[in-house]
Structure formats: structure tokens, C-alpha cells
Amino acid sequence: MKLKKKKEDISQINIEFQEEIRKGAEKLFNYMSDFIENRLDKVDERFQEIIICEKRCDRIKEKYIEVLFKDKRALPFLIEDRYKIITSLDNIMDMSEVIARYIQILPDDFEIYEDIRDEMNQLNKLYLETVNQLLNCTLLMETSFSGAYEITFEVEKWKRQAFDLKFKILDMVFQKKKEPLKVNLTWKIVALVFDVISWAEEISDFLRGLIIKYPGK
């Protein structure tokens, strides 16, 4: 009974944690969408909502880790593996917060170049899809390794798409030699968004390794 209760506690906290990441990613996606289309108010309250999501993730992560280390025998995976998963996912929200904070401190007259807005929106969409599918993968690993295994390749595919898109955007931006500051600021936004997608793909690689490590699941 104790083992069953322990697993339920871990599962419940994990779901709560991942739902908070989903909320934060969705809020950043909407925030970025309006920013790209120059519809963002500099005092937009959604900025603070993203910060709040990150703080909630930290608190839930700490609760998860506390439960995780109380009874190591109650876990179907090695404790080190679960610890790495939870901390790696937490980095997703940390990196997302950095994007929001960066946008918040840009000059008041900064706008995304009109001719790259479609590509920026595509990159933003890949950010949200990658994060959501990564979270789906980690949850599915609890019940179906085969299903989770397939999702890892979807995450890898989207990372490749984001990689190509990143350099397409940068190629367009670097042609604008008359505005070096704006070019550098734009490049940084692209890099920050891509970094989250790339990190999500690294986590999916780790999860694929776990699936190979526990073939009987």
C-alpha cells in the first residue's frame, strides 16, 4: 500500500508540474505572437503571469523532489533519472522566462521587421508544439514506452525545422546593415527561442535513452 501511495503522489505532483509548464508556454506563445505583430503593450500584465508560472514551477519541483527522495524503493525508475527529468523540464520554464524578460526590456520603439514576421510566427509555433509534445512524451513514459519513443522523433523533427528557420531568419536580418543595434537585438530573440526548442530536443534524446535502458516497460 505504501508503494502504491508513493507512486500516486509522484504522479499527481508530476502532472501538476507539467500543467504549469504548459500554461507558461501557452502564455509566452501568446505574448510572443502579439510582440511579433507589434500589438504588445509595454505594461502588458501577461509578462507578470509568465513570471508567476515560473515561480510556481519552482515550488512544485521542490515538492516533487522532496517526495522523490523520501522512499527510493517506491520508484519504477532510478531516482537519478526522475530527478534529471524534473530538473531538465524546469529549465524549459526558466528559459521561457528569460525570453519574456528580454522582450520586456527592449527599447520602447523596437519592432520586429515586417518581412520576417511570418517566419518568426512559425518559430514561435514550433516552440509551443515542441514543449507540448515533450511534456506528452514524459507523461506517456509512465504507461507506454512505445508511444513515448515515437514522440521523441517528432520533437527531433521540429528541432530540425526550427534550425532551418533560424538561419533563414538570420540570413534575412543580417542583410539589414544600416541598423546594427536592431539586428543584434533581433538575432538575440531568435537565438533565445531556438535555444528552448533545442533544449527540449536534448531532453527527448535523454528520454529515448531511458526507453532503451528500461526495455521491459
Backbone angles phi, psi at 164, to 5 degrees: -65, -40
At 79 the pLDDT is 85
Whether 104 and 160 have beta carbons less than 8 Å apart is answered as no
Element (H, E) at 39: none
At 135 the pLDDT is 96
Listed by start position, the domains of the chain span 2-213
Angle, helix 117-140 to helix 79-104, in steps of 10 degrees = 160
d(CA 178, CA 82): 49
Q: Which residues of 61-76 are buried (b: 16+ CB within 10 A; e: fewer)?
A: beebbebbeebeebee
At 43 the pLDDT is 58
Whether 52 and 20 have beta carbons less than 8 Å apart is answered as no
d(CA 136, CA 131): 9
At 32 the pLDDT is 95
Report CA-CA distances (Å) from 159 to 3, 44, 144, 155, 203: 38, 30, 23, 6, 12
At 215 the pLDDT is 65
At 19 the pLDDT is 96
Whether 56 and 20 have beta carbons less than 8 Å apart is answered as yes
At 159 the pLDDT is 97
CATH no. of 2-213: 1.20.58.220
The mean of the pLDDT values for the chain is: 90
At 174 the pLDDT is 93
Report CA-CA distances (Å) from 211 to 82, 151, 215: 13, 12, 6
pTM listed for this prediction: 0.91
Give me the residues of the chain with pLDDT under 70, please: 1-8, 42-43, 71-76, 215-217
d(CA 185, CA 40): 17
Whether 99 and 28 have beta carbons less than 8 Å apart is answered as yes
At 20 the pLDDT is 96
At 27 the pLDDT is 94
Which grid coordinates are listed for 156? 527531433
> Which residue type, as a one-letter code, is found at position 61?
K
